[in-house]
A and B are shown apart, each in its own frame.
Chain A
Amino acid sequence: MTTTSPATVAGAPTVAASTLDLAGVSRWYGNVVAVNDVSMRLGPGVTGLLGPNGAGKTTLLHMMAGFLAPSRGTVALDGAPTWRNPEVYRRLGLVSEREAVHSFLTAYEFVLASAKLHRLPDPKGAARRAIALVEMEDAQNRRIGTYSKGMRQRTRVAAALVHDPQVLLLDEPFNGMDPRQRLHMMELLHRLGGAGRTILFSSHILEEVEQVSGTVQVMVAGRLAASGDFRTIRRLMTNRPHVFAVRSADDRALAVALMAEPSVTGVELGRTGLTVRAGDYGAFTRALPRIALAKGIRVQQLVPEDESLESVFSYLVEA
């Protein structure tokens, strides 16, 4: 269970914090368990919900958004259940994965309709602000049917943000976006999280989560496989080898010395340096300077090779 703390963004308006709590949540369809006993607490900031297709991310998001009843457990937004409780949508926005929009409306009409359905005091002003937030002003009077996928996605985000919700849930928000649109969406999520909103987005693409959020909730086969800062998760998995690229003044001598170190499980001598496998991240990083000093070898480079989210994820899937 992890909460993230909001990064402060200069000039960004802050909103009252909301917390989404899941306690022992399971969801099954007949004999198939889609989500199995998941507990987590989401606070302000951006959190990535990571997992391969079929891991139960969408089912979990739908339960968070009040579109699916948990078979067991509770999902609550600031203490109020999300299922059969439309009142939660005053504080919650959802951008679902299906690219479903009323293509016969313009972006402005679509977002304005959302503002009116929320009974906002100034729906036109709110619609204009939301459209400006996603930078869709230039195309706002064109029919949504004429938009690119990225523009449609931004329009949907604007509609979900029109009432300034404290919590925003996004299901695979980067699907089908080109790199520029992806970058724009990432910046937007950063800004929203920095302003104190609770943002959760799902993705099966590791680099997306890595770039947007240091905090991850990793789902594998319906279970919450890991939760927290992904680098911390990686370090906690001490039973897995960590791979480091090491360059030094005398690689061969250093390789011999490292093999005597208990935390090292393997050393490979390559043309560009050593590839060292260590069973214990902390023990190895403490031992290396000591060994190098004792042998009089100058270490020129030490890079953890498998610190990417990809490697964390593959370990979890294999486990």
Chain B
Amino acid sequence: MSTVSWITARGLFGRRRFLMLFPLPVVLVLLAVLSRSLGVDPGEWGPPVLVGLGLAVVLPVVALIVGTGVLGAEIDDGTVVHILTKPLPRWQIVLPKLAVATGVTAVTVAVPIYVAGVLAHSVRLGLALVVAACLGALAYSALFLALSLVTRRPVLLGLVYVLIWEGLLGNFVSGTKVLSIQQYVIALADRLAPTGLLETTVSVPVAAVMTALFSVGFTVLAIDRLRSFSVAGETS
């Protein structure tokens, strides 16, 4: 583990906001277990729990908390200066942080989404959701990490993207789905395990290409912005 990853992970787990990661995954598992134990038809509870809660809320919100935490929290409290005053090419700072954000998000979401997928349909659906969620974790993390460097309100902007763009506009304006990570994840999961529980209008090739574009594009943006990172003086 690189020193940047180590400090990032210690910082992430050392802050109280880390505790915010757990309630949503627990609710996801509880709802799936409850629905299954009550004998409700998976066709009834599958889409709202797997997509409506798992992929539309748990994945992006966990990614938002972690993605804005790995760099944004250090920028907020000023500790980022300690890493930036080192003779490191900026990609050597961004990539380890992206890896930590993606890893923590993927692990946090993979377990509940796997359990929910297995209870709703099959192990295959569970695994498909895990793979797609991991790819989604990468794209979301790249987006939220870059947001930490382009705005002082990364959490707010991230919420606007998740709730307004993906959540609200996605239901009314079908064109917005082309720029929705949530739709890419659904498309990829459905391709890996076709069940009829997951539905999207985005094709698999578009989802694959756009996931890659989101991941690479926002990572490059983050590296470039970190090269020109300015510290505002408090007393000047």
Q: Please give the residue numbers on chain A whose beta carbons come within 8 Å of chain B beta carbons, in ascending order.
A: 34-35, 53-62, 65, 67-69, 84, 86-90, 92-94, 96-98, 100-105, 110, 113-114, 116-119, 159-160, 172, 204
Asked if B228 and A86 sit within 8 Å, CB to CB, the answer is no
Cα separation A114 to B88 with both chains bound (whole Å): 11
Which chain B residues in 102-132 approach chain A with CB under 8 Å? none
Q: Mark B2-41, 1 if CB is under 8 A from A, else 0.
A: 0110110011001000000000000000000000000000
- Min Cβ gap A83→B in Å is 8
Asked if A67 and B230 sit within 8 Å, CB to CB, the answer is yes
Cα separation A103 to B7 with both chains bound (whole Å): 11
Chain B residues near A84 (CB-CB < 8 A): 227-228
Asked if A100 and B79 sit within 8 Å, CB to CB, the answer is yes
5 extra A-B contacts, CB within 8 A, seeds A35-B236, A94-B81: A34-B236, A57-B236, A62-B236, A67-B230, A89-B86
Cα separation A89 to B82 with both chains bound (whole Å): 11
Which chain B residues in 221-236 approach chain A with CB under 8 Å? 227-231, 233-236
Chain B residues near A93 (CB-CB < 8 A): 85
Chain A residues near B235 (CB-CB < 8 A): 53-54, 57-58, 97, 172, 204
Given A96-B231, A98-B78, A105-B10, verify A117-B236 contact (CB < 8 Å): no
Asked if B86 and A62 sit within 8 Å, CB to CB, the answer is no
Asked if A67 and B236 sit within 8 Å, CB to CB, the answer is no
Interface size class of B (residues with CB under 8 A): 20 to 34
Asked if B233 and A59 sit within 8 Å, CB to CB, the answer is yes
- The number of residue pairs between A and B whose CB atoms lie closer than 8 Å in the complex comes to 96
- Nearest opposing residue in chain B for A219, CB measure: B236
Asked if B86 and A118 sit within 8 Å, CB to CB, the answer is yes
Chain A residues near B3 (CB-CB < 8 A): 113, 116-117
- Nearest opposing residue in chain A for B4, CB measure: A117
Partner of A54, one of B4, B79, B229, B236: B236
Cα separation A283 to B222 with both chains bound (whole Å): 63
Partner of B236, one of A58, A101, A110, A119: A58
Cα separation A90 to B86 with both chains bound (whole Å): 7
From A67, A92, A93, residue with most partner B Cβ within 10 Å:
A67
The 10 A-B residue pairs with the shortest CB-CB distance, nearest first, are A100-B78, A58-B233, A104-B14, A59-B236, A98-B78, A117-B86, A58-B236, A67-B231, A116-B3, A89-B87
Chain B residues near A102 (CB-CB < 8 A): 7, 10-11, 79, 82
Asked if A86 and B233 sit within 8 Å, CB to CB, the answer is no
B150 contacts chain A at the CB level, 8 A cutoff: no
- Nearest opposing residue in chain A for B227, CB measure: A84
Given A59-B236, A100-B81, verify A86-B87 contact (CB < 8 Å): yes
Asked if A86 and B90 sit within 8 Å, CB to CB, the answer is yes
Asked if A65 and B228 sit within 8 Å, CB to CB, the answer is no
Chain B residues near A60 (CB-CB < 8 A): 236
Partner of B86, one of A35, A55, A57, A86: A86
